[in-house]
């Protein structure tokens, strides 16, 4: 039987390095496995992120995971908490639509999904069929692995203007329902009925609270027209400030200048008299785990640099690379610096 605490994250590979931040992967509190999906010609393969492997390289960071893979396919990250300090990031969204069976009724539906673009998009497609509208910008909730349940409640509802279906004001989901659920989104609904005079259109104002018992809370503010058409414009699923998954390719991707890239590879792919090799380069760039994977590559240094580029796509910080090279060899290096005529100075222009 599948453990309720087990979770699965799908990663589709289009590039040798796949990046994403589907949830907070706290590597000190989880044991993570990469799983390659079965195909008609191959069986599913389970690869531990902590063990040596020549078929793939995995690097866990605070908000994303980097995978270096030998071939395209469908992959998943499967993790199980090792302590109560583990947490997963959820996305909360509230949709609303008139009750078709009651001209004075209005339905609110609250969804709790993994904080990934495809999970929230699937909810949006479902709500489009139902005629629902997104009423508030989706919010993030950090859900702790301490075993406590999740409570979703409606607050500040004007009692003289709206009534709610009995015993639904606060709805609770067990820890297992939230943490170990299947691919279907977690959903709760609030059925409301308008009691006041008939304005055109009636207004609805309330708050939706999502709170983990003895944990964090998130508030969704609802203020909308309960009529078919709203005066409020469409609310984006992902505002510009929230980008849970990024990808760079082609001319927009951050790359080390080719001349510098080639000189680094030529210097470190084979050990020299000073003991400088690709293993030392991996150590200085902090990717010195699972060296067996790099050892099997035609150019270990090129793979290490590609991983470093992916890690620094956002910042484009070449200074840290230059500093690592200077740590390896403080003296002028004929393999990298001398041909540039800079002596022992760092060739900043070549890295720009």
CA atoms of 143 and 7, how far apart (whole Å)? 13
Average pLDDT value for residue range 293-316: 87
Please compute the mean of the pLDDT values over residues 134-155 and round it to a whole number.
93
pLDDT tens-place string over residues 307-336: 888 888 777 677 888 888 888 876 344 444
Residue 56 banded pLDDT, cuts 50, 70, 90: confident
Give mean pLDDT, residues 98-113.
Answer: 92
Can you give the pLDDT at residue 202? 76
Least confidently predicted of 48-62, 135-149, 168-182, 277-291: 48-62
* CATH class entry, domain 87-225: mainly beta
How many CB atoms sit inside 10 A of residue 6's CB? 12
Dihedral angle sign, alpha carbons of residues 45, 50, 53, 56 = positive
In order of 57, 214, 217, 257, 275, the CA distances from 144 in angstroms are 28, 10, 11, 43, 46
Question: What pLDDT score does 77 carry?
Answer: 72
pLDDT at 225: 82
pLDDT grade for 10, boundaries at 50, 70 and 90: very low
Nearest CA to 84 among 32, 29, 31? 29
Give residue 347's pLDDT.
43
Domain 250-351 fold: Death Domain, Fas (1.10.533)
Model confidence pLDDT, tens digit, residues 228-282: 554 445 555 655 444 444 445 555 567 888 888 899 999 899 876 566 789 989 9
CATH topology match: 87-225 vs 250-351: no
Considering only residues 197 and 148, tell me which one the structure prediction assigns the higher pLDDT. 148
Residue with tokens 């599948």: 2
Give percent above pLDDT 70 in the chain: 66
Domain spans of the chain, in order of start: 7-81, 87-225, 250-351
Measure the CA–CA gap between 305 and 40, rounded to whole angstroms: 34
State pLDDT tens for residues 20-55. 333 333 333 445 666 665 566 666 666 676 777 887
Kindly indicate the confidence band of residue 180, based on its pLDDT and cuts at 50, 70 and 90: confident
pLDDT at residue 75 is higher than 60:
yes
Alpha helix stretches (DSSP H) within the chain: 117-130, 175-179, 258-268, 278-284, 291-295, 300-311, 319-328, 348-351
């Amino acid at each position: 039987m599948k453990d309720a605490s087990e979770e699965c994250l799908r990663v589709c590979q289009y590039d040798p390095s796949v990046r994403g931040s589907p949830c907070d992967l706290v590597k000190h509190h989880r044991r993570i496995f990469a799983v390659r999906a079965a195909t008609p010609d191959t069986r599913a393969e389970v690869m531990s992120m902590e063990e040596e492997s020549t078929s793939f390289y995995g690097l866990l960071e605070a908000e994303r995971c980097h995978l270096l893979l030998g071939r395209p396919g469908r992959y998943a990250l499967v993790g199980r908490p090792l302590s109560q300090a583990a947490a997963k990031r959820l996305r909360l969204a509230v949709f609303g639509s008139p009750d078709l069976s009651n001209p004075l009724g209005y339905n609110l539906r609250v969804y709790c999904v993994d904080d990934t673009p495809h999970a929230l998009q699937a909810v949006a497609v479902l709500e489009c069929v139902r005629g629902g509208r997104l009423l508030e910008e989706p919010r993030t909730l950090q859900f702790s692995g301490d075993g406590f349940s999740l409570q979703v409640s409606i607050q500040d509802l004007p009692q003289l203007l709206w009534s709610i279906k009995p015993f639904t004001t606060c709805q609770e989901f067990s820890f297992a329902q939230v943490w170990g659920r299947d691919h279907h989104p977690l959903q709760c609904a609030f059925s409301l009925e308008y009691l006041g005079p008939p304005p055109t259109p009636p207004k609805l104002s309330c708050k939706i609270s999502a709170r983990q018992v003895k944990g964090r809370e998130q508030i969704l503010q609802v203020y909308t027209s309960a009529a078919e058409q709203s005066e409020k414009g469409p609310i984006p699923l992902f505002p510009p400030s929230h980008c849970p998954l990024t990808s760079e390719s082609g001319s927009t991707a951050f790359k080390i200048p080719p001349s510098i890239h080639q000189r680094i590879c030529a210097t470190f792919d084979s050990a020299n008299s000073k003991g400088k090799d690709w293993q030392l380069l991996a150590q200085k760039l902090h990717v010195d785990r699972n060296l067996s994977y790099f050892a099997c590559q035609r150019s270990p240094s090129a793979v290490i640099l590609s991983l470093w580029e992916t890690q620094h796509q956002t910042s484009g910080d070449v200074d840290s690379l230059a500093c690592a090279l200077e740590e390896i060899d403080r003296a002028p290096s004929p393999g990298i610096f001398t041909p540039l005529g800079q002596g022992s100075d760092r060739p900043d222009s070549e890295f720009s």
